[in-house]
Each structure stands twice: as structure tokens, then as C-alpha cells.
Structure 1
Amino acid sequence: MKLIYVFIVLCSVHFFGLHFRLGSVVYDIIDFCYFGLAFFILGEYLVKRRAYKFPKKDRLFNKPINIFFITLIISAFSGYFYHNQSPLLTLLAMRYFLYFLIYFLLLRFKIKKQFIIKTILIGAIIYMVVFTIQLLIYPNAIVPLKEGMTFDRGFLRLRLEGVGFVTLSAFYCLNQYILDKKNIKFLFFYFLCFAYVFILGFRTLAVTFLFSSVILIFFYNSSFLKIMKYTIPICFFGFLFFQIDVVQNFIYEGIEQTKTQFESGDDYIRVLTFDFLFNTVNVNFGSIFFGNGMPFLGTEYGNLVLDRGARQNGFISADLGLIGFVFNYGILSLFAFLNILRIAIFKKLPKDSIYLNVFFIYLVISSITTAEIFRAGMFGIEMIVLYLITYTSFINRSTKLILKNNNKL
């Protein structure tokens, strides 16, 4: 089961883009290999009526995810009603949501937490290695690069699938460092992860990462003195990091770019994107509530959004974050999605697992203006975190029951 787990996780990030040299068709082959394997395993469990390895009470996300799937299907039929796009093509366009099935697979595998944490850390290291190699050999490509991609403010805007491993590993390491400050290796790896988040070149992700780190420290202990005890070493390393010229230039240029965007007013690309999607493409409130449907290139609706909108004018729904999510999938799907996130964020966990809550806080905040939480390659990692929350909650509750029974004896 461990090998199957590793394989499906690698499929969820499309092997970190390393399929690129084999041809673009391999991307789809990876998806359909995963789909076939997932449906086969889940189907076998259903036919043979095998029981879950977790009690019903501890399967925290089963119903919320199933409800979310239903709302996505509704959005597909809404796309047919409002834009005459085939529901089958719409479902095919949003097939990445099937990586949510990884949660159900993990419930059946019941893989131990420590093994999964090891795979997360290894995943982060692989991501860093691939990213670094691509950076060094650019413009030669070993992973998919956007057409006309260049360096922006000194950074290659490379959207490599698997960055979720890096952010999750960072929060895990920070959590472990807070538990035991003698383990300086965790603090080192945390800053290494932050360095890679930083060199992505996206202001929102870097700022949200730091903000979420502060939240993690606060969640661990609300005592001001203890917060300062953990924060001072981080601030010291942060100060040293800021002394690097390229870091200072990025920050200063980022501030200037933000000012320019605010001064642009109606000409700001996100404003133009919103106007195009919600005033030109959207039909009425019904299509906002149920969703316009994920566009499929080749249909009239798909050509309008993906060709005329995205390719010709740069109007990409992902740039609107969760608002763009509403355009495609509807308010109904957003509520269902937020319900999953609500449980993940507010589920009370032991102090050594706070990083799991914080990971979703980071994704929600960063997704106000980006598509980080529903970007291709992120769903598999999110399902791993949901499983870890489930596993941790189950172990925690079981331990309390054992202690309670022992006390009675």
C-alpha cells in the first residue's frame, strides 16, 4: 500500500513536471493512470464491502467532500444550461478534482503518520532539486515553461507543481522547532523552504507564508514572552536574509509595483479580468450561484474564456483567486469547499500537529488573490493533510479513551 500511496501522490503533482521531455500527452496519461487505479481500488472495496479502517466518527471529511463533489456536478450542468457546453466536457475539464479521492484511498490504506511525514519532506527536497536545476539551465527546459517566460524582478516565475510540499514541510519544521528548540536542523530547513517560496517571486505567497508562521507560533502558546522567545531567532535569521541584495531589490520593486497597480485603477489586469468574466461572460445571478462551468477549449464557451479571454488578453480566472473559483464553479461549490476548510482549520489538534491547521490558513489567505488552494498539483497534498488531521484526531481520541478506561479500573 505504501508504494501505491507514493505513486498516486507523484501522479497528483505530475512527477514534478519531469514528464515534459516525454511529450505533453504524458500529462494526461498520468492523470488517467491515477484515475484508473483509484477507481479500481475504491470499487474493489465497495464490491467486497470492506470496512473503513477508521470509525465513522473519525472520518471527518467524508460527507463534506461528497457534498463538494455534488456541487461540482451541479456546476457542470449549469454550464450546459447557461453556455450550452456539454456536462461531460465540463467534468473532463475539471478532472483534477478527482485527486480528492486520495483522501478516501488513505482512509483505506491507514498509512502511519511518520511515514507520510517522511514522504512530505522528501517531496519538498525533490521539488527544490528540480526547481534549482531548472533555474540553472534556463532557458533549456526539463519541466513545462510558459511561453515567453522571463525573469521578473530577478526571479524566474516558474509554477512547478509540488510547491505544497515545501510550504507544508516549512510549517512542520517550524512546529517541531517550537516543540524542541535544541533541534536547530528544523529551523534551518524552515528557512530553506522559505527561501524557495521567496524565489518563486510572488509577493502574496511570501507575505502570507510569514504571516501564517506567526499564527503558528501564536497558536502554540499565546504567552507574549514565549512568543518572543520563538520569534527572536526567526527575526534574526530574517534580518540576515534581508541583507542579500536581490532580496532587498525584490521587496522594494514589489512595493513600487503594488503602488503602480493601485494607481492604474480600472486598467489593473485583475479589474479587467473581473469585468470580462462577470460582465461579458457571466449570464446572471443563477450562473454565479450554480457556476458557469469550467471551460473546455474547443467549445464556443471555452473559446470565449480560454482563447479570447486568457490567451489573447490575459484575462485568467485564477488571477482572481476564490472569486475566479466562484465564476467557474459557483457560490454553492464555494460554500461546500469552505466547509471542508472550516473543519480543517478549526479542528482542535495536539500541539505537535498545529502545522496542519496552519497549512490551510495559509492556503485560504493566499487564495484571496491567487489560485493557490485549487491550483493543479495542490489537491493531492491537501488530501494528505486532511488525512493527517483525521489520523491525528483518531489517535488522540483513542488514547483518551484508553486512559479513561484505565482510570476506571
Structure 2
Amino acid sequence: MPSCCPAESTKPAFIGIFGAIVGGFAVSAVFFLLSFSSITAPALPFPVVVTTTTNLSALSTTAQPETMYNRPIWRPPARGSRMPSPRAFRLTRDMVRARARDGVIVVTFGNYAFMDFILTWVRHLTGLGVDNLLVGAMDTKLLRQLYLTGVPVFDMGSRMVTEDVGWGSPTFHKMGREKVLLINELLPFGYELLMCDTDMVWLKNPLPYLARYPSADLLTSSDQVIPTVTDDSLENWREVTGAYNIGIFHWRPTEPAKRLAKDWKDLVISDDKIWDQNAFNDLVHKVFGQPVQGEDELVYSYDGKLKLGVLPASIFCSGHTYFVQGMHQQLRLEPYAVHTTFQYAGTEGKRHRLREAMHFFDQPSYYDSPGLIFPNKCC
């Protein structure tokens, strides 16, 4: 009779259990490594391009990985995170695609001296539900501060000084040429462009108004001080005598608009004494005066093919029509914007005009002066 050996009888079962335990550890280790690598993988600077037959324009940015350009405005980068490389701030089609909505991008630009104007500009737009915007930084100090504040910013490569350059100075005119170059850089991306100066604020979402004129290649503001219409339609271009003001204007990426932008760029680059606004006015009036058939509010201009409309000065206001005349109040209209033109005392005068109207967003320290009471401060 064979002898009984408990150890021998249990050996196969023990080996099976041991193997299962070792296998479990191996699977767990692989899973942990995969999880860890996904957590520490660096975020891409721009949204991932989806290579499918899906209509990309219908995709919401919330369905894409969050990046420095499609994340909500005013959300700063994670605490302790590094500043992205300068390359990440270059203006590209992907960058514009990340922020554009319904084919439209809203853009302003400036240097650090105008940071408070820029933050005011952004806060008004985001308060109106408009977040398809980008800000061009003309110096690295502004670039860094806007990025840390959570404002979508790109580097214009201007290497501009950080101080206020003063209206009419050579550096002021250089900033104007930078605007022309920027428009030429943006239009080939294929998006409608609402270009704005930083010394203006939006009081009402302008995008539905601009969409009322889908065949216009260009809609521009003006220095008109006498109303040519009494409602919210475009100005009667036949009666506009004020210069077209390039502080607020909307471009569609059409061939006539691209040709105008290129000719404008060539003109201002050829002579640094040419004021960009004068050059623009000269070009659009080269051929002018033929109404667009069926759209009498638009006029053929520039080369006889570009369809131009003039935004009403009563609701796309200059400093004069808003602060002095109160034209929108006389006509009982709701203004879309105020551009602080016609202001004395330069940049500081523009700040105080906006402050008086309670349209400026100051730092809390501005309101800390002893004895000053601001019951309706806007920040």
C-alpha cells in the first residue's frame, strides 16, 4: 500500500494559485504603468485634428481635449505649470480654428501699456457670451500676463515697447502697420474677421448684426457725426462725409477683401509716413459709387468688385457720437459699441471717459483711495 504524502498531493494546486497571483501582479503593473503615462503625458498646444468624414465645423470644442486655446476664458493655467514655449504662441490656422465660432473670430491687439483696456475689452465680450476671440500681444510682458490671466493670446512678434507710444508718434504708426500685416495674416485662414482697436468696448453682441449683411465683403465704422439714418440700418453711404474709421471693421475672407488687404499692406510698407487709416480710405475710394443691385445699403468700392457697408455711427459709436452727442439716446437706439475717438488727454482721457460711463474695469486697488465712494463700480 503506497504511503500518503500530503505535500505531493497539494503541489499542483499550490502551483496554480501561485501562478494566478504572479499573473495578477503582472497585469496590475501593466495597467498602472499605462495609467501613469496617460496622466503625465504633456497636453498638446492645439486641438487634435480629427481625420474622419465627420463635419468638423459641427464638432464642439468641448468634445476635444482641452488646450491653452480652447479652454474657457478667464481660466488660468494650472498652478505650478510651466510657461509654454514661444512656439506655442505663434499665430496659426489651428489656433484660430480652436477659438472661432460659426466661422467668425474677433481680434484685438496691443502692448502692455494697454493691458487694462484689453482686459476691459475681453470682459465686455465674455459678459455678452462672446468667447470666439484672440488677443495679439506686441510684447512679451503682455503675452505672459494675459496667458496667466486665462485670456487666449498669441505673439505678434512685434517686440514693441511696453509703454504708451502716444497718438501720431512714429511708433504709433508702426502699430498701425502691424494691424495691416495682421489682417493679411488672418484672412487666408478662411474665417470672418472682426478687427477692433483696444480703446473700444462692446456693449451688445455685434455678431448677429454683422450676419444681417452676408454678401458684404467689408463693413467699416466711420467718423460720421451727422446721422444719415434714424434706425439701426447701415449708414446711407451716399451721405457719409466722415472718414472710414478702422478701429472697428468686419472682413469676410473673399477674394476682393484679400486683394484690398494686400494692396493696403504694400502701400503702408512702401512709406512709413503714410497713416494706415488714410491709406485705407484712399484705396476704398479708388472706385466708388455704384450701388449693389438689390442691396442698396452696400456700395461697390476699391476695384469695383468689393462690396462695402458703413456701420451706423449712432450705435457703433465714436467718442463724439456716444459721449458728446448721445446720438443713440436721441434716436432711441441701443448701442453696440463705443470707440473712444475724438478724446482729449490721450490714453488717460480715454480711460476716464470709459470710467465716467461705468464701462471700464479697473483693478480693485483703483477704488482703495481714502474718501472715494464708487457705489456703481463695474468690477
Q: When the two structures are superposed, what TM-score results if normalisation uses the length of structure 1?
A: 0.24
Structure with max Cα Rg: 2
Whichever structure has more strand as a proportion of its residues is 2
